[in-house]
């Protein structure tokens, strides 16, 4: 059937620069560039281009330009080009439209409507180059009060298991199979080097990475892929995944083509079979059921590790979070609607969930009102783009953040949204052995470590500017935030004052 879809990108190859080296032919995974032997010339099927930039970056002579096809539809605010093209695709395939990465719609990004404070005459700012600045963060349940043994000044109170982070930034859940083993190696090494955590996602942990267990969050998702005693034993934190910001309310699907021999061994499923994660955890239909799983995992790990519970940010997150704390969760993870994924129905990604900023503020407020905020740490994810977002998240009430998309961008991802195809030209979202090699774990770990270091240095600058020398003093300190361009209702939910007041 002839497609009615126009090419999304136009490819221009400058003949005065092109040396016919065929690098673009070899680098492209979407069959865009090809060598025409008859004419001895490299050409392009530009209708296949997804705008991943791989060829442009690797062309040795900068001969290639890829730009958006300026083809305009007739103006129509209702029937925008994306809406028309989605209908065309479904009329040609008859299926659910799948996509990768996160929501790219123009919903408000509240981070961009929040401004941070800085000290001026009184409470002078601190120079982070000359003064020590503390980013150390402890995740886990905190006691309401602590008792000290007077004679030895040692702590009498028995603390719940705590996890120490040198920076409040962790790597988000991305499963082996959805991303390549070299991405997992990069994340694990960078987390270990930076004194933080990375997260296995729902696909288990490759035995080669057990040595990074002390920096690993091991996920227990509805499919229970790769969950066994050793997996729980090596990890530092166990995370029960109930929901995900990119696809709230629905399960996961790793196509059989991505279930290689190694992925199948790690996930404990037959090679080449689809890995289907059910939408719900089939043993959880109430807070009491959740409590049973939380305590089963605490029991299985001898009460030595915090148990996190992750949900997608949805309409009643605050009430759900309250139940999660009462079910014994030591860490609550909230994943907002801009969170990424390897594959999701586009209609879900673009229309379900709420922005993480509103969910975070409402959860933190609710837990404080109920007097149970100390009983769990709050970790958020879903659209954290830079250290400014991190600082604002912490001021809104988060203990730490997860970054997923930002980490993949550091590894080369250009947000082409083709993760579900398994053809990621950057070797990130694939289990194709040839493509997997495109991520070198040594280089990947270095790029991720640099990112964490840069953001951590910037966090210290931000804190110093406020006259604060410890991230702990920023946590939940909404007085350090002001809103701009927000309605009274939005300001009220965020719990911040209008700029100028």
| Residue nearer to ligand SF4 on the CB measure, 42 or 275 | 42
Span near ligand SF4 by CB under 6 A; candidates 59-67, 137-145, 209-217, 448-456: 59-67
- Residue 13 binds ligand SF4, judged by CB under 6 A: yes
| Residue nearer to ligand SF4 on the CB measure, 335 or 364 | 335
Angle 387-396/441-466 helices, nearest 10 degrees? 60
| Residue nearer to ligand SF4 on the CB measure, 51 or 195 | 51
- Residue 435 binds ligand SF4, judged by CB under 6 A: no
Query: Which of residues 196, 322, 344, 417 is near ligand SF4 by CB under 6 A?
Result: 417
Q: Is 43 exposed, middle or buried (0-12, 13-18, 19+ CB in 10 A)?
A: middle
Q: What is the largest CA-CA distance in the chain?
A: 90
- Residue 284 binds ligand SF4, judged by CB under 6 A: no
- Rounded CA gap, 246 and 492, in Å? 26
Least Å distance between CB 201 and ligand SF4?
A: 14
- Rounded CA gap, 412 and 418, in Å? 14
Token code pair at residue 245 = 């910001």
| Residue nearer to ligand SF4 on the CB measure, 246 or 290 | 246
**Cα dihedral 376→322→173→115 (10° resolution):** -80
User: What single string gives the DSSP state of each residue in 205-251?
Assistant: --GGGGGGGGGEEEEE-TT-TT--HHHHHH-SEEEEE---TTSTT--
- Residue 429 binds ligand SF4, judged by CB under 6 A: yes
Query: Which of residues 18, 279, 287, 491 is near ligand SF4 by CB under 6 A?
Result: 18
Query: Which of residues 264, 426, 452, 481 is near ligand SF4 by CB under 6 A?
Result: 426
| Residue nearer to ligand SF4 on the CB measure, 433 or 485 | 433
* β-strands 344-345, 98-99 pairing: antiparallel
Span near ligand SF4 by CB under 6 A; candidates 54-62, 329-337, 395-403, 463-471: 54-62
Span near ligand SF4 by CB under 6 A; candidates 20-28, 79-87, 300-308, 467-475: 20-28
Token code pair at residue 431 = 């289990």
Query: Which of residues 428, 471, 474, 496 is near ligand SF4 by CB under 6 A?
Result: 428
Task: Say how far residue 379 (Cα) sits from the centre of its chain.
Answer: 11
| Eight-class DSSP state of 173 | B
Which residues are at the interface with ligand SF4 (CB under 6 A)? Answer: 13, 18-24, 42, 52, 59-61, 63-64, 100-101, 408, 413-419, 424, 426, 428-429
């Amino acid at each position: 059937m002839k497609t009615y879809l126009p090419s999304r990108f136009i490819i221009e190859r400058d003949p005065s620069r092109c040396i016919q080296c065929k690098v673009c032919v070899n680098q492209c995974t979407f069959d865009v560039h090809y060598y025409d032997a008859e004419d001895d010339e490299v050409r392009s099927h530009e209708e296949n281009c997804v705008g991943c930039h791989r060829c442009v970056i690797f062309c040795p002579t900068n001969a290639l330009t890829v730009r958006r096809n300026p083809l305009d539809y007739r103006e129509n605010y209702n029937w925008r080009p994306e809406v028309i093209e989605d209908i065309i695709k479904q009329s040609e395939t008859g299926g659910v439209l799948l996509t990768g990465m996160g929501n790219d719609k123009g919903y408000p990004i509240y981070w961009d409507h929040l401004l941070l404070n800085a000290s001026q005459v009184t409470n002078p700012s601190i120079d982070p180059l000359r003064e020590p600045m503390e980013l150390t963060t402890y995740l886990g349940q905190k006691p309401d009060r602590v008792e000290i043994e007077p004679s030895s000044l040692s702590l009498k109170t028995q603390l719940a298991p705590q996890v120490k982070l040198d920076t409040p930034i962790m790597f988000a859940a991305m499963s082996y199979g959805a991303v390549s083993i070299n991405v997992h190696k990069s994340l694990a090494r960078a987390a270990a080097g930076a004194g933080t955590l990375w997260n296995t996602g729902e696909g288990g942990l490759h035995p080669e990475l057990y040595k990074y267990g002390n920096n690993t969050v091991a996920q227990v998702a509805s499919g229970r892929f790769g969950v066994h005693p050793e997996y729980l034993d090596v990890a530092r934190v166990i995370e029960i995944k109930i929901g995900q910001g990119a696809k709230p309310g629905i399960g996961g699907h790793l196509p059989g083509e991505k279930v290689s021999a190694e992925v199948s061994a790690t996930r404990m499923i037959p090679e080449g079979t689809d890995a289907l994660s059910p939408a719900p955890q089939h043993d959880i239909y109430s807070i009491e059921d959740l409590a049973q799983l939380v305590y089963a995992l605490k029991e299985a790990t001898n009460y030595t590790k915090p148990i996190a519970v992750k949900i997608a940010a949805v309409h009643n997150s605050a009430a759900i979070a309250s139940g999660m704390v009462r079910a014994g969760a030591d860490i609550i993870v909230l994943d907002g609607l801009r969170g990424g994924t390897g594959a999701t129905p586009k209609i879900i990604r673009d229309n379900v969930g709420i922005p993480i900023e509103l969910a975070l503020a409402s959860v933190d407020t609710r837990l404080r009102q109920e007097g149970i905020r100390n009983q769990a740490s709050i970790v958020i994810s879903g659209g954290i783009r830079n250290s400014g977002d991190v600082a604002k998240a912490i001021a809104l009430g988060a203990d730490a953040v997860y970054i997923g998309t930002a980490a993949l961008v550091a590894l080369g991802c250009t947000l082409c949204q083709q993760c579900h195809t398994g053809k990621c030209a950057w070797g990130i979202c694939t289990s194709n052995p040839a493509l997997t090699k495109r991520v070198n774990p040594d280089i990947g770990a270095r790029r991720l470590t640099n990112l964490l270091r840069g953001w951590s240095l910037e966090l210290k600058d931000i804190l110093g500017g406020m006259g604060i020398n410890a991230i702990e003093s920023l946590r939940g300190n909404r007085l350090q935030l002001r809103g701009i361009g927000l309605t009274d209702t939005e300001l009220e939910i965020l719990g911040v004052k209008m700029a100028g007041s």
